[in-house]
Amino acid sequence: MTGQLSGRTLVLMADSLPVLYLSHGAPPLADDPTWPAELARWSADLPRPRRVLIVSAHWEADPVTLSATTGAPLVYDFWGFPQKYYDVRYDAPAAGELARDVEALLRGVVPVRRDEERGLDHGAYVPLVEMYPEADLPVLQLSMPTLDPARLFELGCRLAPLRQDGTLIVGSGFTTHNLRWFDPSAPADAPPPSVSAEFDQWAAETVAAGDVDQLIDFLHRAPAVRQAHPRTEHWAPLYLSLGAAAGGGLESTTAIDGFWHGMSKRSWQLA
C-alpha cells in the first residue's frame, strides 16, 4: 500500500491498524448522555489493538518525552471539579516494550527522553475509560515537542510502522476548542457558535479530501481559526495522526460528530 502526500511517499502493510484523532472532552464527558456510548461503539468496531500510543493536547514537552512505564498515577490536570472526577482510576498495564519500540524508531532522528513520574493526563485517560474500560491494554503517552503542523506530521510518519505491530496510534484533542463558549447552564448539545460550525465544516471537508497541504497551512486556510482555536494545542495532535496514517492514502471516516457546549467533537478514523 503506497500513498503520495505533500511530496512524501510512504509504504505501509495493508493490514496495519487505523489511526485515530478524537475529541476527548473534559472529565464530565463521562456524564454526557450520548458521547461515552459513541466512543464505546467506535472502539467496538475497531480491530482489537495490542497496545495504545496516545498524544494528548495537554502534554507539550521538548524533546519528545515518553510517559511512565512503571504505573505512575494519573495526572488530574484540571481544577474545580467535583471529587468524583479525581477518584477515577485507569490502571493500564505498563508499556515498556512500546516505549523501547518508539525509542528505536526515533533514534538518530529526534532526541527522546522518559519521565517515569508522569502518568496519563485527562486527554488520554478520559476517552480511554470509555473506549477500553477494562484497562487491559498497555498505554504509553507521547509528548508533543512542538505545535508546528509539519514537524508533527513528520513525527507521525516516523511512528507509522508501529501500526503493523498492533499499536493503535491516537491523537487526542478537540476539533474546535474555545472555553469561552462553555456554559454549563446550557444543554451540552445546544447550537454551537457560528465560528465553531464554520471551522468544523472546513475541517470535515478538508480531511475528507485528504488535502494535507491545506490542513498543514490551516492558519492561513481555515475560516474562523483564531476563534475556533485561540491556541492550537487541541488541534495539533491531528497532525501526528495524519502522518501516521499517510501511507494508506489518507482515507478517512468521521466516527463521531456534533458539538459539546459549542465545541466540535468531530473525530476521525484514518487509514
Q: How far apart are CA 5 and CA 46, in angstroms?
A: 25
Q: How far apart are CA 122 and CA 132, in angstroms?
A: 15
- Other beta carbons within 10 angstroms of residue 216's beta carbon come to 17
Task: Sort 99 into a burial class: Cβ within 10 Å, 0-12 / 13-18 / 19+.
Answer: buried
Q: How far apart are CA 172 and CA 56, in angstroms?
A: 5
Q: In the CATH hierarchy, which fold is given to the domain comprising 2-270? A: Protocatechuate 4,5-dioxygenase; Chain B (3.40.830)
Q: What pLDDT sits at residue 8?
A: 37
Q: Which residues of the chain have pLDDT under 50?
A: 1-14
Q: Which long-range contacts (CB under 8 A, 24 or more apart) does 70-76 make?
A: 70/94, 70/116, 71/119, 72/116, 72/117, 72/118, 72/119, 73/119, 74/119, 74/120, 74/121, 74/122, 74/125, 75/118, 75/119, 75/120, 75/121, 75/122, 76/122
Residues 245, 18 contacting (CB under 8 angstroms):
yes
Report which residue type is found at 229: H
Best CA proximity match to 236, nearest among 148, 156, 140, 169: 148
Q: What pLDDT sits at residue 247?
A: 67
First to last CA, the chain: 11
Helix, coil or strand: residue 11: strand
pTM comes to 0.93
Q: How far apart are CA 130 and CA 246, in angstroms?
A: 27
The pairing of strands 167-173 and 19-23 is parallel
Report which residue type is found at 63: P
Place of cell 477494562: 134
Q: How far apart are CA 6 and CA 144, in angstroms?
A: 22
Best CA proximity match to 4, nearest among 209, 250, 252: 250
